[in-house]
Structures are given as structure tokens and as C-alpha cells.
Amino acid sequence: MRVMVTGGAGFIGSALCRYLVLERGWEVLNLDKLTYASDLRSLDTIDHLPNYQFIKADIADPLAVAAALHDFGPDAVMHLAAESHVDRSIDGPGTFINTNVVGTYHLLEAVAVYWRGLSPDDRERFRFHHISTDEVYGSLGPDDGLFTEQSPYRPNSPYAASKASSDHLVRAWCHTYGLPVVISNCSNNYGPFQFPEKFIPLMTINALRGRKLPVYGDGRNIRDWLHVDDHARALALIVEQGRVGETYNVGGRNEARNIDMVRQIFDLVCELAEDVPITKFDDIVEFVTDRPGHDHRYAIDATKIETELGWKATHDIASGLRETVKWYIDNRDWWQAILDHEYDLQRLGQG
């Protein structure tokens, strides 16, 4: 398959590119604007291979996207490019609307033109795969069961609202113009190369540096953790075999309270790293002001993708977290370079 991936220099996009190029042997064109959240080092293992290409472009630039589509000639577009961090969307929603909503609109327009120009057989085979989040479904109470593909949309943060808007645009381009789309909504991803502002790398890195571990509110919020490599496998199956117009929920069946995750991360750092500056949990954990509108619980029912496409998460949170914490311990150079050069250090206790 020939696939154009948008946002392939980000956390999930780079894991997807590595998987498609190395494990599946697909032809991949990665189109990415290279925002603060991107990192080309995550593509070091594939950037010299003949079945991988990179182009720096904005999804909201119709001419650049049209040229990329024309020159590369993909069978599918997998759309991951987005602003992805909830806290940033609270501080500055504008970029989220521009990239996630307006950017997705421009991308859809360019892809629709390209798709209409294909032969009837190629038009039939083509897929636009939109990668979205479980946050579009809102927040669950402790006894509310799980999000399914039928759950109503109730986005709470500016980020979630922008992703929900993009889901609706994608759905409308299928319904109105016949563009063959599939949508997937997944839970919280974790694994190597995740930008240090996200929960698991942030806690790991702060523990390694003896900085406070900032837990929002009372720490009882629940997330459902999905290893990024399990997600990459799911995405490949969905773009290959997913039914047009359908949504697939992807989750790890790994629900955990934030405070329990922080405790586990801290214990793993103390066990696996040398010279940890603070070794008593009570001395390092800090309950801080809650995130405004903080969703209580996300949890995905992955039955549809499991039964229809035969996918199953292979990482349980205990082994996946251990492997991930070890990766951040072994790759200090990677995150230190980000802290030194690009990242607003305030949240990591340096501001």
C-alpha cells in the first residue's frame, strides 16, 4: 500500500511510520509541518529507507498538499496531524481551531479533488483515515460503563471540541461527497518518543531530575492506557480492512487512576535508574490546582475492532509502563535536548 501520513513526525505518527515502513513494507510519505511537538529523531530508523519519504508542509496549505498527493499518488491518507495537548488548548484555543478544524477542512478538500481524479477502481479502493480521540465522547462517571461507537459526542475541552468538529467534517465529506472515510477514536497513548509535556514522560522525567510530580486535583481521574505500538497495528488494520463510513474505537482495556500511575512510575524510576535525587514518594508528589473542566474518566469498549478486525492490545500496563519508563531512563539525551531548546519549562518546575 502507498500511504500519506499527516503528522508523522509526532508521537503516534512516528510510531505508525516506523511500523508501516519496517513491519509492513508499505510506501509511506510523511507530511508534517514540524511544530514544537514534532521530532525527526523519532524517524532515524527509517529516514534513509527507499519506502519512506518526508515532506515539510502544512495540512492547511492546499497547494502543497495537492502537489504531495499528485506526486506521491497514495491509496490512502492517514490523518494524524493535530494540536494534541489539552492544557495548551485551555491556554490558547485558537491554534487548535486553526489546525484541527480548519486544517482538516483544507486537507479534506485537497484529498477530495485528488480522489475524484482517480480511476473508478482506485476511487473505490481509496481510504481517508481520520485519527481521533475518545475525548470527543466527554467524561464518564465511575459506574458509567465504557465509550462505544454509539456514545453521544459531548466534548468538554477546546481540544476535544476541535477534534469532535474534525470528526464531523470527515463524516460529512463521506456522506455528502462520497469520500471513502474511516474514523478511529482511541484512548490515551503511551510509549517512547512522547513529548515531555504529556503525563507519563513528564512524571518520569521529573522523578529522574528530582522535580515535583504535579498531580492535578485529587489524582482520582481515570485514563485508559494504550501502548502506541498496539495503536499503530490497529491503525494499519483499520485503513486496510475497516468498513467505509464506520468508526472504530481503540483502547487498551487498561484503566488506571492518575495517582496510582504516578506511584508506579516513581517506583519504577527508583528501581531502574541510578542516583535518583528523591526516593520518598511523599516528598516528591504534589497535588496542584486542577485542570479547568478536567474530565473524570475515559474508558473504551474495543469490542468492535477486536471482533471485526481481530485486533487485540498486546501490552498490559504493568509491562508496557516498565518498558516505557526504562526507555526514558535510557534516552536522557533525547528529552534533555527538548528541555534545553524548545520546551516551555514552567510545567517541569524550572520556570
Catalytic residue numbers? 134-135, 159
Query: Measured from the CB of residue 130, what is the shortest distance to ligand TDX in angstroms?
Result: 13
Give the span between the Cα atoms of 234 and 119, in whole angstroms. Answer: 28
Instruction: For ligand TDX, give the closer residue by CB, 11 or 72.
Output: 11
Residue 133 engages ligand NAD in binding (rule: CB under 6 A): yes
Site for ligand NAD in 145-164 (CB under 6 A): 163
Residue 223 engages ligand TDX in binding (rule: CB under 6 A): yes
Mapping DSSP to helix (H, G, I), strand (E, B) and coil, where does residue 197 land? coil
Instruction: For ligand NAD, give the closer residue by CB, 68 or 284.
Output: 68
Query: Measured from the CB of residue 33, what is the shortest distance to ligand NAD in angstroms?
Result: 3
Residue 161 engages ligand TDX in binding (rule: CB under 6 A): no
Query: Measured from the CB of residue 291, what is the shortest distance to ligand TDX in angstroms?
Result: 6
Residue 12 engages ligand NAD in binding (rule: CB under 6 A): yes
Contacts of 82 (CB under 8 A, 6+ apart): 7, 99, 100, 103, 162, 163, 166
Contacts of 44 (CB under 8 A, 6+ apart): none
Report the candidate in 141, 135, 132, 231 with the shortest Cα–Cα distance to residue 189: 231
Site for ligand TDX in 279-308 (CB under 6 A): 291
Query: Measured from the CB of residue 272, what is the shortest distance to ligand TDX in angstroms?
Result: 21
Looking at this protein, which amino acid is placed at residue 179? Answer: L
- Answer for which of 215, 238, 278, 305 binds ligand TDX (CB under 6 A) is 215
The one-character DSSP state at 136 is: G
Residue 53 engages ligand NAD in binding (rule: CB under 6 A): no
Instruction: For ligand TDX, give the closer residue by CB, 30 or 100.
Output: 100
What is the secondary structure of 77-120 as a DSSP string? EEE--S---HHHHHH-THHHIIIIIIIHHHHHHHHHHHHHTS-H
Give the span between the Cα atoms of 203 and 330, in whole angstroms. Answer: 15
Give the span between the Cα atoms of 126 and 69, in whole angstroms. Answer: 12
Q: What are phi and psi for residue 306, nearest 5 degrees?
A: -65, -45
Give the span between the Cα atoms of 33 and 121, in whole angstroms. Answer: 32
Looking at this protein, which amino acid is placed at residue 87? Answer: D
* From the list ligand TDX, ligand NAD, none, partner contacted by residue 99 (C-beta under 5 to 8 A by kind): ligand NAD
Give the span between the Cα atoms of 121 and 209, in whole angstroms. Answer: 56
Residue 197 engages ligand NAD in binding (rule: CB under 6 A): no
Instruction: For ligand TDX, give the closer residue by CB, 123 or 296.
Output: 296
Per-residue interface string for the shown chain with ligand NAD, residues 79-98, x marking contact by CB under 6 A = -xxx-x--------------
Per-residue interface string for the shown chain with ligand TDX, residues 76-115, x marking contact by CB under 6 A = --------xxx-----------------------------
Residue 34 engages ligand NAD in binding (rule: CB under 6 A): yes
Cα R_g (the chain), whole angstroms:
20
Joined grid coordinates for residue 114:
485528488
Instruction: For ligand TDX, give the closer residue by CB, 202 or 205.
Output: 202
Mapping DSSP to helix (H, G, I), strand (E, B) and coil, where does residue 305 land? helix
Residue 9 engages ligand NAD in binding (rule: CB under 6 A): yes
Instruction: For ligand NAD, give the closer residue by CB, 160 or 278.
Output: 160
Query: Measured from the CB of residue 140, what is the shortest distance to ligand TDX in angstroms?
Result: 12
Report the candidate in 77, 55, 79 with the shortest Cα–Cα distance to residue 67: 55
Instruction: For ligand NAD, give the closer residue by CB, 106 or 263.
Output: 106
Mapping DSSP to helix (H, G, I), strand (E, B) and coil, where does residue 167 land? helix
Residue 189 engages ligand NAD in binding (rule: CB under 6 A): yes
The site for ligand TDX (CB under 6 A) is made up of: 84-86, 133, 135, 188, 198-199, 202, 214-216, 221, 223, 258, 291
